[in-house]
Each structure stands twice: as C-alpha cells, then as structure tokens.
C-alpha cells in the first residue's frame, strides 16, 4: 500500500493575496514533512477558476518547488487537463520532462479532461471533444518523450516534425495515470495501460467493483506508452488523532467543507447537453453518510464509510479494508479551506506515519520506505 498526499490548494474566503500565499506555503511545508515521514507521493491537481475549491491552476510551478525542497517523495503532476485550449500537448510534454529532470526522475503524470463548465466554458472548450482530445494526448505524450522526430496529424492538434525537448529523466518516460471521477473511466485507464487515479470518494462496494474490473481489463491492455502502470489509487481525507472523538470533531467539518465547496462548481452535464458527460461529477453529493447510533468515529454522522478520519486503530482497519478490495495506494487530502490549523495537520501526519504507515510496510519497504526510479518495473536506466 502506497500513501500519498493530495492538493487542491483550496482557499477560504476572503480571497486575499495573503490567504492564497498562506495556503501555498502551508502546502509546501506539508510536502517537506511528508518527504521526511516516508509518504510515497505528493499530487497536485490542475483546476482553473474554481473559487475556494481549488486555486491550483499551475501545478507544475507548485510541484517544481516541491521537487526542489524534497529528496525522495514522488511528484504527482495530476492531473494535467488534456484539452488543447488549456494545454498544448507539446507544452505538457516539455513541462513534464523538465519536472522529471528537476526531480531526479520522481515524476508521475496524471491525465484528465475536466468535468466542470466553470473550467471548460472559461476556455471555450466544446465538451463533446474532451474525451477524444484526452485520448489523443495519452497516445502522443509517450511518443514526444521517446522519439527524436515527432509529427502528428490528429483531431485535437497537428504539427510538423520536431524534436520535443527535453526528454524525461526516467526511461522510457514517467508512469502515466488517468483521474477517475465518472464510473467507466477506470476501464479507459485499464485499456490503455494507465494507472487509475481516483479523485472522487467512492464507498467500498463501488470501489471494489471498479477495482476488480480494472485489474481484469489491464491484463488485456494495449498500452499507449512504454510503461504499464497497473496501480489503483483512491482519494481520501486524513485526520488522525489519538482521541477518536477529537479526530471526528476536527475531521468531519473538513470533509464537509470540501464537499460543499465541490458542489458549488458548475458541472458540464448541468450546463450543456452532451453524450460526453453522463454524470454530474459532483463528489460531495456522491458521498453518502452511514446511519447508525453507535458512537464510533467511522460511523459518525456526516462521515461516509472508508474515510481516513479517526484514531490510529480506526485508520488501520479502514486502510486494511481498502487493501483487501485491491486498492494499491491512497492519496490523502490533508486539509480543506484551511479548516484545520497547520500545526494540527502536521501533527496528524506525524501520528499517521508513526502508528499507521508501518502496519502496511514490508521489511523491504521499511528499509527503503519510498520507491525510487530504479525500482520501477520498466526502468532501464536513463542515459547520462
């Protein structure tokens, strides 16, 4: 089981420059600590115009700072929005390769297509086309990273022969992922040999069904690149405290704040009739709290099943359940709208690393708690 941290860089009102500065620098401090504690990944999303919910519009810049301030944790550029109006594929390839070099081969590249009209409308993107351009990006990025001459005649973009530079440090290229919000996207990931990066919180039953089918399908995949990435990561929340009631009292408002901010977004399906978006993508409304009278943190009012809020014992049991259903990694949102003071976020991370993470590490993992590029299955050594 791999553990990551996940950043939307949500920023509470009032939207002052000081607040945005604080959110970014709190995030960087959390990354430095995560690196020291042995977390495996740090992921930063790409979103545009999403007031409060996410002020992370230039993740490559944030992640460059993370790469410069850390030594071991892997850098998750995820996900890049794969529509040409927002990102030309050449620029995606170039930025990712540079980030891979800067980070000494620690990059993971996530791909996505955006689910909000807030973003697609802002860039005047036709929602009918995003799935097609996402697929095109997935297929051309590995070529740009590995071919000395790349040319393309496609639907989303075309270009004459050029050598896209630099090439990534990892050979043949960084592992690639797909963010999965809509049911069925995990199958698109599997068919292309891409990792499944869950960004909406599904319950155990739903996740088990999706994970099982993903693992079956990826055995039959036609990989788009030189590396088959067969990992399934889910998104979760983390607040860990020795006192589960305190964990609940602090963690539940954080989860709720995330969900409410998420639901303020204007979903593409709500705005624009299209076959390309069959669900709203509304993460908050998709999370269903369990109903019970038992005073247990996992069963707290407002807290859906499987959420990483509680004492260490509860978190161990929760993560074991995720592991049983085939999830290979969990990426935790540490805060939302700065609901949790920074010192408490850091304390929660430390307690989690001390009491929970070791239970999911093999002896080899504990000896080298973060895997390195040389341990990647397809790594054959970058030319120096």
Q: Which residues bind other proteins (CB under 8 A)?
A: 13, 49-53, 117-118, 121, 256-257, 259-267, 269-275, 278, 280, 282, 284-285, 337
Q: Which is nearer to other proteins, 131 or 269 (CB)?
A: 269
Using an 8 Å Cβ cutoff, are 101 and 373 in contact?
A: no
Which of these, 308, 264, 304, lies nearest to 287 by C-alpha position? 304
For the bound state, the minimum distance from the C-beta of residue 117 to other proteins, rounded and expressed in Å, comes to 7
Is residue 158 a contact partner of residue 89, using CB atoms and an 8 Å limit? no
CA distances from 121 to 49, 76, 238, 339 (A): 10, 26, 32, 30
75: Cα within 13 Å, side-chain hemisphere: 31
C-beta closer to other proteins: residue 61 or 260: 260
Is the Cβ of residue 130 or residue 170 nearer to other proteins in the bound state? 130
Dist. CA 139–CA 129, nearest whole Å: 16
Nearer to other proteins, 45 or 109 (CB): 45
Q: Which is nearer to other proteins, 283 or 315 (CB)?
A: 283
121 or 154: CB nearest other proteins: 121
Q: How far is the CB of 165 from other proteins (least distance, A)?
A: 38
Q: Is the dihedral of CA 311, 231, 164, 100 positive or negative?
A: positive
Which of these, 33, 24, 38, lies nearest to 368 by C-alpha position? 38
Residue 220 vs residues 176, 180, 184, 207, 377: alpha-carbon distances, Å: 17, 19, 16, 20, 18
> Nearer Cβ to other proteins, position 275 or 363?
275
Are the CB atoms for 39 and 353 separated by under 8 Å? yes
Coil/strand/helix, residue 87: coil
Assigned token pair, 72? 């071991």
Quote the least distance from Cβ 311 to other proteins, whole Å: 25
Query: Who's near 119: CB < 8 A, 6+ residues apart?
Result: 47, 48, 49, 50, 81, 86, 125
Instruction: Show Cβ contacts of residue 324 under 8 Å, excluding neighbours closer than 6 positions.
Output: none
Q: Least separation, in Å, of the C-beta of 337 and other proteins?
A: 8
Q: Least CB distance from residue 263 to other proteins, whole Å?
A: 4
Nearer to other proteins among residue 110 and residue 251 (C-beta): 251
The minimum distance between CB 255 and other proteins, in angstroms, equals 11
Nearest to 342 by CA among 254, 262, 255: 254
Closest separation between CB of residue 125 and other proteins, Å?
A: 12
Q: How far is the CB of 298 from other proteins (least distance, A)?
A: 20
Please work out, in degrees rounded to the nearest 5, the angle formed at the alpha carbon of residue 375 by the alpha carbons of 73 and 135.
75
In whole angstroms, the minimum distance from the beta carbon of 40 to other proteins comes to 31
Q: Which residues, 6 or more positions from 354, have their beta carbon under 8 angstroms from its beta carbon?
A: none
Kindly tell me which of 130 and 229 has the beta carbon lying closer to other proteins.
130
């Amino acid at each position: 089981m791999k553990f990551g941290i996940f950043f939307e860089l949500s920023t509470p009102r009032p939207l002052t420059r000081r607040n945005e500065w604080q959110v970014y620098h709190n995030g960087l401090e959390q990354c430095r600590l995560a690196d020291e504690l042995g977390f495996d990944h740090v992921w930063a999303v790409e979103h545009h115009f999403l007031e409060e919910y996410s002020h992370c519009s230039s993740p490559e810049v944030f992640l460059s700072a993370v790469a410069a301030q850390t030594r071991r944790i892997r850098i998750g550029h995820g996900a890049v929005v794969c529509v040409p109006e927002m990102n030309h594929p050449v620029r995606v390839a170039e930025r990712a390769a540079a980030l891979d070099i800067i980070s000494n081969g620690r990059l993971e590249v996530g791909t996505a297509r955006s689910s909000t009209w807030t973003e697609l409308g802002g860039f005047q993107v036709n929602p009918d086309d995003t799935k097609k351009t996402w697929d095109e990006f997935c297929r051309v990025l590995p070529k740009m990273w590995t071919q000395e001459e790349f040319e393309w005649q496609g639907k989303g973009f075309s270009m004459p022969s050029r050598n896209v530079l630099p090439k990534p440090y990892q050979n043949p290229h960084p592992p690639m992922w797909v963010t999965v919000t809509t049911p069925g996207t995990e199958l698109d990931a599997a068919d292309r040999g891409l990792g499944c990066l869950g960004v909406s919180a599904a319950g155990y039953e739903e996740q088990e069904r999706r994970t099982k089918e993903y693992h079956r399908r990826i055995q039959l995949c036609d990989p788009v690149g030189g590396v088959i990435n067969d990992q399934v990561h889910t998104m979760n929340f983390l607040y860990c405290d020795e006192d589960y009631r305190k964990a609940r009292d602090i963690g539940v408002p954080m989860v709720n704040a995330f969900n409410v901010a998420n639901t303020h977004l204007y979903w593409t399906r709500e705005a624009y009739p299209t076959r390309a978006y069959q669900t709203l993508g509304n993460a908050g409304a998709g999370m269903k709290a369990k109903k019970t009278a038992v005073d247990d943190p996992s069963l707290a009012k407002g807290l859906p099943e499987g959420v990483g809020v509680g004492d260490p014992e509860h978190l161990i049991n929760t993560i074991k359940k995720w592991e049983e259903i085939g999830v290979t990694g969990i990426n935790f949102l540490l805060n939302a709208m700065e609901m949790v003071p920074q010192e408490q976020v850091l304390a929660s991370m430390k307690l989690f690393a001390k009491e929970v993470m070791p239970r999911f590490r093999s002896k080899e993992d504990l000896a080298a708690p973060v895997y390195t590029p040389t341990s990647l299955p397809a790594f054959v050594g970058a030319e120096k």
